[in-house]
Amino acid sequence: MLEQILSMVFTTSFGYSIIRITSPILFAALAAVVAEKAGVTNIGLEGIMMISALFGVLFAYWTSYWWVGVIGAMVVGVILALIIGIFALKLKTDIILAGIAINLVGSGGTIFLLYLFTGLKGNTASLTTPSMLTPKLNIPILESIPVIGPIFSGHSILTYVAFLLVFLVWVLLYKTALGLQIRAVGENSHAADSVGVSVLKIQYIALGISGALSGLGGAYMSMYYSQSWNTGIVAGRGFIALAAQAMGQGEPLGSMFASLLFGFASALGNKMEGMQGFSSFLVAAVPYAVTIIGLVLYASTQVRRVKKSRFMEKGKKEAEKS
C-alpha cells in the first residue's frame, strides 16, 4: 500500500495538483499575513472567500468577461473586509466576532443572494460558460522542460498571480513606507500613534488589502477550481489559511511554504480517496488533521518564547493603563 502511495506521489500530476490546490490557500494566507501584521486578526477570510467567489461568478456571468468577475470578487472582498473594519475599529466590537459574523453571512447569506440574483438554489453550474473561467496559462519554454513543465505550467493565470503576490506582499511590507507603518501599528500601536501615524487608517488599509487578496482566493475557487459556485465551495480554506499564516510566522515566504504543506496534504488526501482500502471519509480529513498537527507543533515552539518574553509585555500594559 505504501508503495502504491509513493508511486503516486512521485508523479508530475501529483506535483501539478499540489500547486493547483495550494493557490487559493496561498491567497488567503497572504491576506491573513497582511492583516495580522497590522495587528488585526481577519478571521472572516472564510466568509469573504465564500461571498466573493459567488460575486466573481455573477459578475463574469453578467458581463461574460472572466476578468470582470475577478475584479468584482476583489472589490467585494475589500468591501467585506472594510465592513469588518467598521465593526471592529470604529464601533469597537471584538474583531473575532465581526469575523465570525462575516463567516456566517458567507455560509447562509450567499444562498439567499444566489437565489435573489439568479433564481438558482445551491450552485451556479448551469450558468457557467467557458468565457467565465479564468484561463490556463502555458508558459513558453518552461512547459517543454520535462518534469518541471508539467508541474509548473498550465495553471490558472491566478495561480501565477498568487505566487507573484508572495514577493509583492514581501516588498509591500519590507520595502515601502506603508509596510513600515503596517508593521509598526501591528507591533506597537502606541508608538505609531505617538509619531502621528494614524493607526485606524493603517488598519483599514491592511484590512482592505487582506480583503482583496482573499477575494482573489474566492475567485480562483469558483472561476477555476470548481468551475462554478456551490454552497460548500470554500470548505475551510479560509481557516486553513489562518493556520498557514501562523505556521509561517506571519511572513509571506513562510506562509507560502505552510500553504504548500497543506496543499500537499490535500492532494494526498484527494489521491488516496480513489484507492482501495481507505475510507474516503477518513482520507478527506487528512488536510484538516495536518492543520491541527501543524498548529500544535507551531504552538509548542511558541509557548517557550511567550513565557520568556512576558516581561516585554510589561511596558505595553502599563502604557495602556496610563
Q: How far is the CB of 301 from other proteins (least distance, A)?
A: 13
Q: How far is the CB of 182 from other proteins (least distance, A)?
A: 11
Q: How far is the CB of 173 from other proteins (least distance, A)?
A: 11
Q: What residues make contact with other proteins under the rule CB under 8 A?
A: 171, 175-177, 179-181, 183-184, 187-188, 190-197, 304, 308, 310-319, 321-322
For residue 135, give the DSSP letter. P
Q: Which amino acid appears at position 227 of this protein? A: Q
CB nearer to other proteins: pick between 2 and 312: 312
CB nearer to other proteins: pick between 121 and 307: 307
Residue with cell 509583492: 168
Residues 26 and 234: their CA atoms lie apart, in Å, by: 13
CB nearer to other proteins: pick between 45 and 202: 202
CB nearer to other proteins: pick between 236 and 316: 316
Residues 215 and 47: their CA atoms lie apart, in Å, by: 10
Residues 21 and 17: their CA atoms lie apart, in Å, by: 6
Contacts of 194 by beta carbon, 8 Å cutoff, 6+ apart: none
Q: How far is the CB of 95 from other proteins (least distance, A)?
A: 19
CB nearer to other proteins: pick between 3 and 320: 320
Q: How far is the CB of 168 from other proteins (least distance, A)?
A: 12
CB nearer to other proteins: pick between 90 and 190: 190
Q: How far is the CB of 294 from other proteins (least distance, A)?
A: 24
The pairing of beta strand 136-137 with beta strand 155-156: antiparallel
Which among 297, 292, 306, 267 has a CA at the least distance from the CA of 11? 267
Q: Grid coordinates representing 80?
A: 467585506
Residues 260 and 6: their CA atoms lie apart, in Å, by: 18
